[in-house]
Homo-oligomer: A and B are copies of this chain.
Amino acid sequence: MRTELECILCFGKGALFLTKRFALSHKDNVKLHQSILREIAEADFNEPPPLIARKIYQLISEKTGEKDPFQQEKDLSTEHAKRLLKPLRTKLKTFNDPLEGLVRLVMAGNIIDFGLDAAFDLNTTLERITETFSEKIDRAALEVLRKALEKAKNVLYITDNCGEAVFDALLLERYRCKMTVAVRGSPILNDVTRREAEASGLAAASIRLIDTGDNTPGIDLCRSSGEFLEAYHSADLIISKGQGNYETLCETRRPTVFLLRAKCPVVMHKLGGVKQGSCQIHHVNIIP
């Protein structure tokens, strides 16, 4: 999907959130942000937002020398998610349909975000995740996913953030023999890379782990590694997690199921005017 004008504000907020943690002088910070503004001013708004976001974060990384600024948040998110695993497994057992429980969990897991939030509390997070278990979901789309998962021989599962990846591992585990899981090729925001894959449980023996070869917070096929492209074109089903992957892949011609929480107005609108924070199962190019 193309970049909307509203995305400019998100680029700005994201850049501000990140650069606040560097001990830059006001003067250097202004210089950095002015080069970010120039980057956005030169960007092609026909491209999806994550492609522009990558350029912005690349610029910040180059100017500050900080290659993985969210490492601490990523590790904390993974740790938090792992501590929630035991109570969540108990909750999952209450579902008559195990797949429904898992799909709800991998979408809701996105609630664990930026673990350095001082207000982060395990019990509250557990409650919030459990709440989404009774939210309305598209049951017809869930059935499409179920059938596609059963029929598929090669599934490419594209991950998003750390934390929720711990829950992704539970769904991957269920279909482990046919799964290839993709993480980002290098650090970007709090997205999973090879570094976090093992701690998240994604590096199980029977699951093939690949990376995109790229640090776009989504998928940019022009920058993807040969290994990723091969998996992308040969999979008979792609499962795409989160907003960034949706924004970059929503016009794909491959059979894809998007699992995400709709967080921003642009994505909410693109999905047909869905509710903020709602869990969405959205499929394209799958003949049920």
Seen from chain A, the residues whose Cβ lies within 8 Å of a Cβ on chain B are 2, 4-6, 8-9, 12-13, 16, 19, 26, 29-30, 33-35, 37-38, 40-43, 45
Q: How far is the CA of A74 from the CA of B139 in the complex (A)?
A: 50
Residues of chain B within 8 A of A45, CB atoms compared = 26, 30
Partner of A16, one of B5, B26, B37, B40: B5
Residues of chain B within 8 A of A29, CB atoms compared = 5
Partner of A9, one of B5, B9, B19, B34: B9
Partner of A37, one of B19, B26, B30, B41: B41
- Besides A35-B41, A37-B40, 18 more A-B contacts (Cβ < 8 Å) are A5-B16, A5-B30, A6-B16, A8-B12, A8-B16, A8-B33, A8-B37, A9-B9, A9-B12, A9-B13, A12-B12, A30-B45, A34-B41, A34-B42, A37-B38, A38-B38, A38-B41, A41-B41
Q: How far is the CA of A9 from the CA of B26 in the complex (A)?
A: 16
Q: How far is the CA of A6 from the CA of B29 in the complex (A)?
A: 11
Residues of chain B within 8 A of A41, CB atoms compared = 34-35, 37-38, 41
Residues of chain B within 8 A of A2, CB atoms compared = 26
Q: How many copies does the complex hold?
A: 2
Q: How far is the CA of A105 from the CA of B37 in the complex (A)?
A: 40
Residues of chain B within 8 A of A34, CB atoms compared = 40-43
25 interchain pairs, CB-CB under 8 A: A2-B26, A5-B16, A5-B19, A5-B29, A5-B30, A8-B12, A8-B16, A8-B33, A9-B9, A9-B12, A9-B13, A9-B16, A12-B12, A26-B45, A30-B45, A34-B40, A34-B41, A34-B42, A37-B37, A37-B38, A37-B40, A37-B41, A38-B38, A38-B41, A41-B41
Residues of chain B within 8 A of A6, CB atoms compared = 16
- Nearest Cβ distance between residue A56 and chain B, in whole angstroms? 12
Residues of chain B within 8 A of A12, CB atoms compared = 8-9, 12
- Nearest Cβ distance between residue A43 and chain B, in whole angstroms? 8
- Nearest Cβ distance between residue A202 and chain B, in whole angstroms? 36
Partner of A5, one of B4, B8, B33, B43: B33
Q: How far is the CA of A13 from the CA of B41 in the complex (A)?
A: 16
Name, among A4, A12, A19, the residue most crowded by chain B CB atoms within 10 Å (CB to CB): A12
Q: How far is the CA of A130 from the CA of B43 in the complex (A)?
A: 48
Q: How far is the CA of A16 from the CA of B265 in the complex (A)?
A: 14
Residues of chain B within 8 A of A13, CB atoms compared = 9
Q: How far is the CA of A33 from the CA of B40 in the complex (A)?
A: 10
